[in-house]
């Protein structure tokens, strides 16, 4: 749950390290998500999305249901 699918957060993304750090902080605190470091938009955490039980199909960055 800590590593997003590369199609949702590519390895070359310029803010990847900051995004992963913000996500890890949200997961550790049990929070639903975090503000994206670059845009300030709220991003749902993998933990929150997993608790929902299914994929919503909206392309969430940390979707735990993305396989390919």
Q: Please write the tens of the pLDDT for every residue from 4-62.
A: 999 999 999 999 999 999 999 999 999 999 999 999 999 999 999 999 999 999 999 99
Whether the predicted model's global pTM rises above the 0.85 cut? yes
Residue 66 has pLDDT above 90, yes or no: no
Instruction: Please give the Cα distance from 4 to 63 (Å, whole number).
Output: 7
């Amino acid at each position: 749950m800590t590593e997003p699918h590369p199609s949702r957060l590519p390895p070359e993304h310029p803010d990847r390290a900051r995004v992963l750090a913000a996500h890890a902080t949200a997961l550790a605190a049990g929070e639903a998500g975090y503000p994206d470091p670059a845009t300030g938009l709220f991003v749902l955490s993998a933990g929150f999305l997993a608790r929902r039980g299914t994929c919503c199909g909206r392309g969430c960055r940390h979707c735990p249901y993305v396989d390919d």
